[in-house]
Amino acid sequence: MIRNITCVILTKNSVRNIENIRNIYHLFEKIVIVDDYSEDDTVKEIEEIDTEKRVKICKRKLDNFSSQRNYASSLAETDWVFHLDSDERIDDILIRELHMIDGNVNNTYFIAFKVKRKNYFIDIHIGTEDKIRLFNKKKLYFRSEVHEDLNIKSEDKIGIIGGAILHKSYQSIQDYFRKLDLYMRLEEERLKQSKKGWFYILGRLVKRTFEHFKTLVKNVIANKSFVKPLLWFCLCEAYDLLYFSIFLYVKYFKTSK
């Protein structure tokens, strides 16, 4: 069992992903759950899994993802934390890597480790990306309100772990747009406070579209298929076009009413 790393999981109506949490329970001695006031039996089922009373469960209303993750990290008893979402699980190779790292994690000169995350849409692999999910909470913290990242500096030493996180977030196109609604509400609140102008937001859209296109080409070559990577590309563009539309609404339409 992994003892020097705390697994941190955010939940919200996560009953359908309860098996992921059950698997994590048998891997990590210390687990922190921060629940965004689930309306289903998420908390109840986690309590039933926790027969040894090793899981720290706290409820906190989601204001943004960075503050939610930072709050969860603060509850961990260990310096090292491994962040997961309830719709993510880890493969066998990553499990072995975490066990190997666990013994010497407090003596490493790295402050964090990258791991590959494989993204799936309705069980279709639509892309792989590098994520930093294992890190020393005394050295790093999350920033940005919606798509949170860590305050990495160029001189920071970042290691690499084998294996992958398997991210199966969306079980249907309706499921995708339900989550998109949450993200857009958070983005709207952020844009109300932002002083970013037209050219910055338009530049962001163009830059991200170019990055998505490069990833599309990469995934087409890797998968020897066009349809699956194209689906991923369309989902990314749907998000960014909605973000741009909300910017126009908040900055130009809403203020002129």
- The side-by-side arrangement of strands in the sheet containing 31-35 is 55-59, 31-35, 5-11, 80-85, 124-136, 112-121, 158-170, 88-90
Q: Does residue 257 surpass a pLDDT of 70?
A: no
Q: Are strands 55-59 and 124-136 parallel, antiparallel or unpaired?
A: unpaired
DSSP state string for 21-33 = HHHHHTTBS-EEE
- Give the confidence band of 204 by pLDDT, cuts at 50, 70, 90: confident
Q: Does residue 88 surpass a pLDDT of 90?
A: yes
The upper half-sphere exposure of residue 42, i.e. CA atoms within 13 Å in the direction of its Cβ, equals 24
Choose the weakest-confidence range: 5-14, 178-187, 218-227, 243-252: 178-187
Choose the weakest-confidence range: 39-43, 109-113, 179-183: 179-183
Q: Does residue 241 surpass a pLDDT of 60?
A: yes
Mean pLDDT of 70-75: 97
Q: Does residue 251 surpass a pLDDT of 60?
A: yes
What pTM value is reported for the model?
0.79
Residue 146's pLDDT is: 52
Q: Does residue 201 surpass a pLDDT of 90?
A: no
Mean pLDDT of 204-214: 87
Nearest C-alpha neighbor of 118 from the set 107, 129, 109: 129
